[in-house]
Amino acid sequence: MRKKSDTPLQAKESNTTSKGFERASAILEAARLLLAHDGYAALAMRSVAQQVGVSLSTVQHYYPSRDALIEALLEQTFARYQAGIDERVAAAGAGPRVELFESIIDYFLADLRDQVSSGLFFEIAALANRHPVAAKLFDTMMSRARKTLRNLIHEIDPGLTMAQCEIRGTLIVAQMLGTMLFISETRPQHKELENLAHEATVAITRIAFGR
């Protein structure tokens, strides 16, 4: 498992103070909520500043443009997922690795059910169809997601080739995003689909390991 990466906040020299880190975090959280709930059009730098209660120049000090803000937001999202994976790996210890894999998939699906998380993905995916910078950032995030799953699958079943793990990781990312369309809190809920997330984990485990 790779070492947990620094967050986009920790990587910024100007944010090394506690106050600076908290302010940058507040800016990203405001941007996350605006983008998830109101869409890209509402994600104006001035609107973010108003939500946080700071000046426009303060927001621009940390994130010079809207594209830089979105990039940092996606970096933060991936860092959060990596931290969640690392926590589950540490908690599992030497326990069954397939159960560890299932717990990680459960974690992803639970987060994708969340109104803000799913709203963010829906908006970025739609934006990627018409905005070159968003398309590049979204592709980078999807590539990192499938490579993380590729490495996890190979670690659990080293008998698989890396090429096999790459394809399976890609299929799993597609499966999870497709499942999000039905389990997200932003979508109509159907009683007959109440066990969908569990069945998705079972199906994804079969994709990964053929069991």
pLDDT value of residue 4: 39
pLDDT value of residue 198: 94
Indicate if the pLDDT at residue 10 is higher than 80: no
Binned at pLDDT 50, 70 and 90, residue 2 comes out as: very low
Other Cβ atoms less than 10 A from the Cβ of 28: the count is: 23
Q: Would you kindly state where each structural domain of the chain is located, as residue ranges?
A: 94-209
**Nearest partner of 141 among 158, 155, 156, 124, judged by Cα:** 124
**Nearest partner of 80 among 119, 47, 114, 108, judged by Cα:** 108
Model pLDDT for residues 25-77, shown as the tens digit of each residue:
999 999 999 999 998 888 999 999 999 999 999 999 999 998 899 889 888 88
The H or E element spanning position 175 is helix 162-183
128 versus 180: the higher-pLDDT residue is 180
Model pLDDT for residues 139-189, shown as the tens digit of each residue:
988 898 899 899 999 999 999 999 999 999 999 999 999 999 999 998 888
Q: What is the pTM of this model?
A: 0.81
